[in-house]
Amino acid sequence: MVTISLSRSEPTSARADVLVLGVRAASSDHVFGAQLKAMGFTGEPDQIVTFPAADLARARLVVAVALPKEPTTEQLRRLAGGGVRTAVGAKAKTIALAFEPADADELQAVAEGASLGAYAFTSYKTKPNDTLRSITLLTSLARQASATNAVTSASIVVDAVSQARDWVNTAPADLRPPVFAQSIKEWAGDATLVTIWDERKLERERCGGILAVGAGSQVPPRLVRLTYRPEKAPRKAMPHLALVGKGITFDSGGLSIKTGAGMQTMKMDMAGAAAVVAAIGAIARLELPIRVTAFACIAENMPSGSATRPGDVLTMRNGATVEVLNTDAEGRLVLGDGLALAAEAKPDAIVDVATLTGACIVALGERTAGVMSNDEPLRQQMVDAAKAAGELVWPLPIAEEMKEKVKSSKVADLRQHNPKAAGGAMFAAEFLRAFVGDLPWAHVDIAGPAFNEEGPYGYVPTGGTGFAVRMLVQLARDLAR
Ligand code: BES
Ligand code: ZN
Ligand code: ZN
């Protein structure tokens, strides 16, 4: 991990390898005015130029980043992330970053963007590049308590997002269900109470969906429950949020097997579980005054002689029977059990996060998640929390005709799969709705934004993105007030 610190040094005198400098206006009286001009720096959005600091600063190199006159916090995050990535590309080992944040909120956004942009996954590189060690944020706010708090909060959130990214990036052979469950316990066990259900316990607890999805794998499924209850805050009148995450450590499709190309990125199919676990860990470490219970529904979806077949009928945790018609629509089966368990705890709201459908990517593209809900105020709260956290989320309806489609099985209570692809994200959501009873519930489909198959941008790396962690932490903040 990169260490983050604060300093009141001037950009020119800061001790660092590379100086990342936010430039609002490249006027001729700017210290680097001549260099900026020579580099063709005009200050247009997203412009970044790099030049040697020569004897104008202690740093070896300057990375100048154009800042808008009145940037939003998300613009600051992205630009700080982009500046840091450019510096890392120039082999920076230490960075001084001068963005002149106006207040603690802006400083927190800069700290988040800079450290998220510094993320690198090197576990499998035998000769990793020299990595960045430290980022010093230059700001006149440096000695204020609010500034220290902002950096501490940012570090807690960034640690959580980075852990979610690491889990997603880990090779699926190295993160099979029992290993993932154990790793969750190791990461979150000091801040939350962690209980792992193995296959025998899942059997006793009648979690037919999770067991059915794991049935084809050589390794058994797991359910991990995490609980957080603040020590200091009063017990009464505290909101209770339940989180449920899809944790398919590899989705081959099962007997309804995917194509070779279709399963290339399917190690990422546990990103929802990674996000909810990372979020509850961050919420606990931030000591937010809210109760949170999280369920990670973990299985490996594989074809074999013991795999679940199309045509099989399952009995889920809530007693409902489900006719399986496509074993590649496995996420809704593990989530059905997780949602039923969450509903049993009678929380004020349930939020599930899942890389659930290709249909959601068709609808909203690769960078925006869809949110579907049975409760309009909660859906709006989700959209607002995502916006405040700088994550792209857009509301989708659950069209009413989905209700009869989900109920249309000839042999069971529910039909798992609609043979028509149209409205696939909504059909899946309608299926999930059957497991939450009357409780306010929102479903976030992160199939697009959980994994970045293209080059890095802003503070988003290639591979696992840690998407949804920040919006969930923000939701907890909003519910707690
Ligand atoms: N994990 C996939 C969804 C997915 C696809 C996530 C692409 C990220 C990128 C999910 O389990 C799945 O396979 N869904 C099927 C459902 C279909 C069989 C109804 C899909 O979207 O094709
Ligand atoms: Zn699938
Ligand atoms: Zn899947």
Would you tell me how many other CB atoms lie within 10 Å of the CB of residue 55?
A: 7
Sheet containing strand 193-197, strands side by side = 193-197, 222-228, 291-301, 240-251, 349-354, 441-445, 369-373, 393-395
Give the pLDDT of residue 234. Answer: 63
Q: Give the model confidence (pLDDT) of 236-262 as tens digits.
A: 689 999 999 999 999 999 999 999 999
CA 386 to chain centre: 11
Q: Is 248 helix (H, G, I), strand (E, B) or coil?
A: strand
Q: Strand pairing partners for 291?
A: 240
User: What does pTM read for this prediction?
Assistant: 0.98
Q: Specify whether the CB–CB gap between 184 and 166 falls below 8 A.
A: no
φ, ψ (nearest 5 deg) of residue 408: -90, 10
Ligand 2 centroid from CA 251, angstroms: 5
* Apex 28 CA angle, 27 and 30, nearest 5: 70
pLDDT of residue 312: 99
Cα 426 to middle of ligand 1, angstroms: 13
User: Under a CB-based contact definition with an 8 Å cutoff, are residues 457 and 471 in contact?
Assistant: no
Q: Which ligand is nearest to the CA of 326?
A: 1
Question: Token digits for 281?
Answer: 């860990």
Residue-level pLDDT at 235? 53
Q: What is the mean pLDDT of residues 175-204?
A: 98
Cβ–Cβ < 8 Å for 201, 214:
no
Q: How far is the CA of 257 from the centre of ligand 2 (A)?
A: 9
What are the tens digits of pLDDT across the range 274-283? 999 999 999 9
Q: What is the pLDDT of residue 233?
A: 59
User: E strand or H helix at 451, and its extent?
Assistant: strand 451-452
Pocket test for ligand 1, best of 302, 357, 406 (most atoms within 8 A of CB): 357
- Mean pLDDT of the chain, nearest integer: 97
Active site residue 332: yes
Q: What is the pLDDT of residue 135?
A: 98
